[in-house]
Structure 1
Amino acid sequence: MRAVNSDRRMQVYGALLLLPAAILLGTFAYLPTIATLIDSLFLPGIRGEPPAFGGLANYQALIEDATFWKVARNNLVYALGTIPTSIALALGMALFVNARLPGRGFVRMAYFTPTILPMIAAANIWMFFYAPQIGLFNNLLDVLGIDGPNWLGNPRIALFSVIMMTIWKEAGFFMIFYLAALQSLPPDLQEAADLEGTTRWSFFWRVTFPLLMPTTLFVMINALINAVRVVDHLFILTKGGPNNATNLLLYYVYENAFSFFDRPYAATITVVILVVLAIVATVKFTVLDRRIHYQ
């Protein structure tokens, strides 16, 4: 009987420990998600009238919205442009600063410095880089006798310009995770490889990279989330232009909610984004985790 009472007390104690986190999670995650889903089922009120129930009308409008599909395509290109490149650069920088080289601390600081800048400040810096007449990039091209493009005003290269700034901003942040993972690898593996005469390239692909897969997966998920929640530097650099060439999903949500005052439609786009992220998370936990080599 005493054992049963002790188990119940431990269960109650554990539930009380989880209660604050559960309240915060429900308040700031689950309740807003449910409210967004409900909002997506209503039509915006006209001339001060309350919103009317519209069912799936907003989702039907979303399917027929050419701008939404263009924005979704932009976001896909943005993700494909930023995620692999940022991860590859982060891994390369981590391998470089993990080696024994003079001034290693200074190099690490230089790599990490862009990360500590607020996104608004970074966007303003790159606004100066991209300026058509006085920008750094065009002045450098002018020295070589090349006419620099309008980096943010040309629809063909504007999204590429935003991608470059994002890679510069994120690679140093992801480097920290790879550096920590590299420093946690047992040195005995390298010593055994040296005794076997294994080349550095072979050791990296057969030993180091597989052991870094948990870190790679973690970085990949964070990079994907970052690729979806882009708002602030778009607001500074392009405001989604020209002609929606750099408009991305979350900025399109912002436009519909605060510029067009169509909150139900913004909620509809948000629900679609959440569904896509849920699918990605499901794939991560059911497929990719099985291919990861944990230490």
Structure 2
Amino acid sequence: MKDRTTLHAWLMLSPALLLLVAFTHYPAVATLWHALFSTPRANRPARFVGLDNFRFLAEDPIFWQALWNNLVYAVATIPISVGLALLMALWVNGKLKGRTALRMAYFTPTVLPMIAVANLWLFFFTPDYGLLDRATQFLFGWGPTNWLGSHETALGAMIVVAVWKEAGFFMIFYLAALQAIPPVLLEAAAVEGASRARILWRVVLPLLGPTTLFILVNAVINAFRLVDHIIVMTRGGPDNATALLLTYIYELGFRFWDTASASAMTVVLLAILATVAAVQFLVVERRTHYQ
């Protein structure tokens, strides 16, 4: 009977396992394999070059610029989007008029395709007659600003777009977790004389730990994955100011057809994501309280 149950469980899991192997594990192993070979040409097959592709990356200044940009992008978007999502969830979870409409307003950016979001924000960032320039000229008297064409502001503009797109998505998870907290716990803390701030810090936030861990993992992945708006709005410019690892992988692999270097950079990206995920699960999860 036990063997039959085990077989039945494996049969139920097999479709998901096949998809996971076919579209996740096999591509990762194949990418690592291709990173050890040169780029095949029409009259020259790929040949084994070992770690030469990784040495090329170590000597490539654009790679280091893209890596630095991606770190800045991640460090900015992750805490801001997660913190903003928590604040929005706490607000719309309360008893206020029109909270359904407010929830929809917060969640609307999430359902929009990133290409549509990029074109929408192009209107905001357009110099002189864009909405942002019009507002700054009216309020502060600033002159026209080339938000996407300036090395100082381009990456910040991309961060704003990413936060606007992601915060509403994370808010939904926080809102569901807040509604799952037993009211008796909050009532007991209030009876004991705890202030609202102390209830939030000592009761609500610890109970939101599993949700926060899940959101952090997704936020880290999105910080290295969501680049559609950058390709549409700046294409990594100006002067690689908004180039991220994934945009540079796209450039190398599909524009310059240097699949070997693109594979090597993909391996580096996978290693970064695996390391960050391991730290999150080994360190953050130990401090996470499960009900």
TM-score by length of 2: 0.97
Distance 1:236 1:138 in 2: 20
One-letter amino acid of the counterpart of residue 58, structure 2: I
Moved over 4 A (4+): none
Matches for 1:176-215 after TM superposition, within 5 Å: 176-215=172-211
**Deviates most, 279-288 or 123-132:** 279-288
**How far apart in 1 are the matches of 2:127 and 2:67?**
28
Given that 2:186 and 2:203 are in contact with CA atoms closer than 8 Å, whether structure 1 keeps it comes out as no
Q: 1: CA distance between counterparts of 2:209 and 2:2?
A: 39
Letter of the aligned partner of 2:8 in structure 1?
Answer: Y
Q: For residue 40 of structure 1, report the CA deviation from its aligned partner.
A: 0.3
Q: 1:150 aligns with which of 146, 153, 156?
A: 146
Distance (whole Å) between structure 2 residues aligned to residue 9 and residue 274 of structure 1? 38
Matches within 5 A, 1:63-142: 63-142=58-137
1:292 aligns with 2:250: no
Question: What is the CA-CA distance between 1:36 and the residue it aligns to?
Answer: 0.5
Match of 1:152, SS state, is coil
Counterpart for residue 170 of structure 1: 166
Deviates more, 1:91-100 or 1:16-25: 16-25
- Of 283-292 and 262-271, deviating more is 283-292
Q: Please state how far the C-alpha of 1:154 moved relative to its aligned partner.
A: 0.3
The Cα of 1:47 is off from its aligned counterpart by: 5.6
After superposition, the C-alpha distances for 1:245-291 in whole angstroms (9 at most, x for unaligned) are 00001111000001111001100000111111111222222222111
- Superposed CA offset, 1:23-46 (max 9, x none): 111111111111111110111235
AA in 1 matched with 2:31: T
- Say what the alpha-carbon RMSD is for the aligned residues: 1.1
In structure 1, how many angstroms separate the alpha carbons of the residues matched to 2:8 and 2:224? 39
Partner of 2:27: 32
SS at match of 1:51: coil
Uncovered stretches (5+) of structure 1, i.e. residues with no partner: 1-5
What CA distance in whole angstroms lies between the structure 2 residues aligned with 1:285 and 1:166? 24
Which of residues 9, 13, 36 is equivalent to 1:18?
Answer: 13
| Alpha-carbon separation, structure 2, partners of 1:156 and 1:178 | 34
Deviation larger for 210-219 or 70-79: 210-219
1:49 is displaced (CA, Å) by 1.4
Please list, as runs of the form range in 1=range in 2, the aligned pairs for 1:226-245 lying within 5 A after superposition. Answer: 226-245=222-241
CA distance in 2, matches of 1:21, 1:120: 29
Which residue identity lines up with residue 82 of structure 1 in the other structure? T
**Which of 258, 264, 277 is 1:268 aligned to?**
264
Does structure 1 conserve the Cα–Cα contact (< 8 Å) formed by 2:53 and 2:261?
yes
Separation in structure 1 between the aligned mates of residue 8 and residue 241 of structure 2, nearest angstrom: 54
Equivalent residue in structure 1 for 2:40, among 22, 41, 45 = 45
CA–CA distance in 1 between the matches of 2:28 and 2:285? Answer: 26
Q: How many residues align?
A: 290
Report the AA paired with residue 259 of structure 1.
R
Q: Distance in 2 between matches of 1:61 and 1:232?
A: 26
Q: Distance in 1 between matches of 2:20 and 2:221?
A: 18
| Separation in structure 2 between the aligned mates of residue 168 and residue 196 of structure 1, nearest angstrom | 39
Q: Amino acid of the residue matched to residue 287 of structure 1?
A: V
- C-alpha distance in structure 2 between counterparts of 1:143 and 1:230, whole Å: 33
- Residue 169 of structure 1 aligns with an amino acid whose one-letter code is K
Counterpart of 1:58?
Answer: 53
- Measure how far apart 1:14 and its partner are: 2.1
SS of 1:42's equivalent in the other structure is: coil
One-letter amino acid of the counterpart of residue 15, structure 2: P
**Aligned partner of 1:206: which letter?**
R
Distance 1:163 1:213 in 2: 25
Structure 1: how far apart are the matches of 2:171 and 2:157?
22
Whether the 8 Å contact between 1:211 and 1:294 is mirrored in structure 2 is yes
